[in-house]
Structure 1
């Protein structure tokens, strides 16, 4: 005797509207729209500092401690000022801002025009696994091609 399964109408709605968290975190384009890479980084830095939940004084103190050099809130203001085109944040300080705020979107704003992205370290093993699977697939294709060539030569 076969059992009929009751139809489950609740499960179909369980994931309706679910949006998984993005693996590559980025600012929305509207928030960091700029005419140059330097201007985009200024916008991204401004957004990071605004959203980090700490004062610029506190962030500056944490950056100073991280780097072992003095970084004042005034310097952070200069790095985010659109009017001050000559004052761009050096790479080591940008990394320090990321280190103290944890906002990886800042690094992805920097990398936007390149072939690279920044992802959390926890994803490294998964990426390595996928690269290895691609390599395995290419090797299997090469083996199959060589086998076919060998059979045709017999």
Structure 2
């Protein structure tokens, strides 16, 4: 039987398609370090460097947001691996994420716990999937209980 000829003139629209990531992450090599403090320091540094803002501008906005003084020198310390005992606080990390719009540093911190920060717009979808899983689990349980009931009659 003769194989049909393949159309070589029509482009494959999805050949180079890469869906947009739901969870933003740094490249693992970019934040590789021996400790979580070191990884977080690298992530904070990359977040600030890629934000398009100066560290002084970030510090000023963080001060305004947190109502606590944040200086450029403090941000430099948070970004330094040499000062691992001087890690950024959770409140300041949240402010950095809010100011830069970049949650990748937060995801570096959460990775060891098996968690990710997901944009709020996906929360309803996650709840829907959790409801589907619960419904499927309930259906499996119902079938198992029915089988057990029939077996005991």
Unaligned runs of 5+ in 2: 1-5
Deviation at 1:39, TM superposition (A): 0.4
1:141–1:52 Cα change, 3 Å: same
Question: Normalising to structure 1: TM-score of the pair?
Answer: 0.88
Deviation at 1:67, TM superposition (A): 0.3
Q: Does 1:113 align with 2:112?
A: yes
Structure-2 separation of matches of 1:65 and 1:30: 33
Question: Normalising to structure 2: TM-score of the pair?
Answer: 0.89
Structure-1 separation of matches of 2:40 and 2:80: 11
Unaligned runs of 5+ in 1: 1-6
After superposition, give the CA deviation of every residue in 1:120-146 in whole Å (9 maximum; x if it has no partner).
011111111111100000100111122
Structure-1 separation of matches of 2:136 and 2:10: 36
| Mapping for residues 62-73 of structure 1, pairs under 5 Å | 62-73=61-72
Query: Between Structure 1 and Structure 2, how many residues are aligned?
Result: 148
After superposition, give the CA deviation of every residue in 1:22-73 in whole Å (9 maximum; x if it has no partner).
1111100011000000000000000000111111111111101100111111
1:18–1:10 Cα change, 3 Å: farther
Structure-1 separation of matches of 2:103 and 2:142: 41
1:11–1:100 Cα change, 3 Å: farther
| Mapping for residues 64-143 of structure 1, pairs under 5 Å | 64-143=63-142
**Does the 8 Å contact 2:60/2:71 carry over to 1?**
yes
**Does the 8 Å contact 2:41/2:84 carry over to 1?**
no
Q: What RMSD in Å do the two structures reach over aligned CA positions?
A: 1.8
Structure-2 separation of matches of 1:140 and 1:71: 54
Structure-1 separation of matches of 2:146 and 2:96: 55
